[in-house]
Amino acid sequence: MPLGAKLAGVLAVGILPWVAASVWPLALVTAALAGVVVAARLPARRLLRSMRGLLPVLVVLLAFQWWSHDLAYAVRVVVGIVNAFVAAGILTATTPVTDLLDGVVRAARPLRRVVDPEVVALTLGVVVRSVPWVAGSFSSVRESARARGLDRDPRAVVVPTVVHVVAFARSTGEALAARGLTDPGDDAPGPGRSGSARPG
């Protein structure tokens, strides 16, 4: 399936909760997405595992929306988020990152006077790659905290994870700069930049 169609699909799934009058169209989309996961033999277990991390947020959101609106609205919002999450998971699992980058470059080309399309694409690529790294870092920090008997102290998990993420961002930025990937390309706006980093 062409990338444009996939992106349009993800967008439609994301918009649906705002236009649907009841939960049934959303439930139909949920069933269709589950069908795609099975038909395309995607790692459903991994998808469910990653959704487990989202669960506390969904519960809080459901409670808040129920309190501020009504139960039907709250269910629509939560099912809509789950659908968008699964649709995005299907997109990234069935599309090589380089194809995504090409698609983003094409989409951002009309804005090339404002921003370098390659930099926009690269940013997206780095975000996609960083998600499993951050999850892995969180998990190893939690294990370390557990080994020290500190697993009930949120500071023992959150602070080291933030430190790891900042260090990771810094080293990734340095690696990109070293490869000249943050240097202005042919489509870049404005005059050239020096591209040099501060001393480390």
Partner 1 sequence: MTEVRLDGATVSVPVDGSPDRRTRRILGPVDLVLTQRRVTVIGANGSGKSTLLRLLNGLVSPTAGAVTVDGLDTVRDGTRVRRHVAFAFTDPISQLVMPTGREDVELSLRRVHRSRSDRRAAAEQVLERFGLTHLADQSVYDLSGGERQLMALAVVLATDPDLLVLDEPTTLLDRRNTLRLRALLEALPQTVVLATHDLDLAAASERTLVVDEGRIVFDGDPAAAVERYVRLVDEP
Residues at the site binding partner 1, with contacts judged by CB under 8 A: 96-99, 101-102, 118, 122, 125-126, 128-129, 132, 136, 168, 171-172, 174-181, 183-185, 192-200
Cβ distance to partner 1 smaller for residue 110 or 199: 199
For residues 70 and 99, which CB has a smaller minimum distance to partner 1 in the complex? Answer: 99
Neighbours of 29 (CB within 10 A): 23
Which of 6, 7, 14, 9 shows the shortest CA–CA distance to 79?
14
Q: Which position has the token pair 């990338």? A: 3
Phi-psi region of 180 (alpha: psi -120 to 50; beta: other; left: phi over 0): left
Nearer to partner 1 among residue 10 and residue 101 (C-beta)? 101
| CB of 30 or CB of 92, closer to partner 1 | 92
Smallest distance from the beta carbon of 14 to partner 1, in angstroms? 23
Neighbours of 45 (CB within 10 A): 8
CB of 1 to partner 1, least distance (A): 17
When the beta carbons of 60 and 88 are compared against partner 1, the nearer one is: 88
Token pair of 36 as six digits: 């795609």
User: Please, what is the minimum distance in Å from the beta carbon of residue 118 to partner 1?
Assistant: 7
CB of 55 to partner 1, least distance (A): 25
State the minimum distance, in angstroms, from the CB of residue 168 to partner 1.
8
The answer to whether the CB of 157 falls within 8 A of the CB of 143 is no
Is 168 in contact with 130 (CB distance < 8 Å)? Answer: yes
**Spatial distance between the Cα atoms of 126 and 122, rounded to a whole number of angstroms:** 6
